[in-house]
Structure formats: C-alpha cells, structure tokens
Amino acid sequence: MMDEARYNQLVASVFKKMLAAADSIDPDILEAESTGDMLTLTARSREKCIVNTQRAVRQMWVAGKGQGIHFDYDEATGTWKDDKGRGLELYAFVADVVRDISDADFVYPS
C-alpha cells in the first residue's frame, strides 16, 4: 500500500484538477464545493457527483450514475482505475457523471 504522504499528494492533485474543471463551468449550471476529504459537484437539477477519499485503503470513491465506484491508483500508468477491473478511469468517470447531470462538458486543464 502506498504511504500516506504520497496518497495525500495524489488526492490534492485530483481535487485541484477537478475544481479547475468545475470553475470553467457557469455556477448556475454546476456548483463545486470542497470540504476536507470530499468534493461535491451539484447540478442545477440538484443531482450530485460526490468524490471522496477512502484514506484507510488509499482509494478514491465516486458516487454518481446511481452507483459508487472505488478507484485505486496505478503507479505503472499514473491513473486511477476502478477496483473491479471494469476499465473505468477516475477523471473520465467523473466527467461522464457531470455531463449526465448537467449537460456540461467537464474539461480538465492540461
């Protein structure tokens, strides 16, 4: 299991990137709120996408599309992949959920 310092660094990067993507969307369409270990993206319809840390197991968890998905960091590829091997990637999954709930493109900064 990765050490806590590395995990904290990765989590900070995820939240920073997601907040930057949310900031490019009109807040009347999508609001972003970060509180500690959770990022909540709320659409005008009040539907939500929630990104949360799972510190004990060094995962990220996303609630959206009526499901909760856990993501593990893959050092070899530098990506967060779902822990069930379904081929889901954290950033792409969150972008899909945001598009579903808000009809807005969730574009991450380069």
Model confidence pLDDT, tens digit, residues 89-108: 999 999 999 999 999 999 99
Distance between terminal CA atoms of the chain?
A: 28
For residue 80, list its beta bridge partners. Answer: 73
pLDDT at 26: 96
Angle at which helix 90-102 crosses helix 4-23, to 10 degrees, equals 30
pLDDT tens digits, residue range 11-51?
A: 999 999 999 999 999 999 999 999 989 999 999 999 999 99
Quick one: pLDDT at residue 4?
94
pLDDT tens for each residue of 44-99: 999 999 999 999 999 999 999 899 999 999 999 999 999 999 999 999 999 999 99
All domains in the chain, ordered by first residue: 4-102 (3.30.920.10)
Tell me the longest C-alpha to C-alpha distance in the chain.
Answer: 40
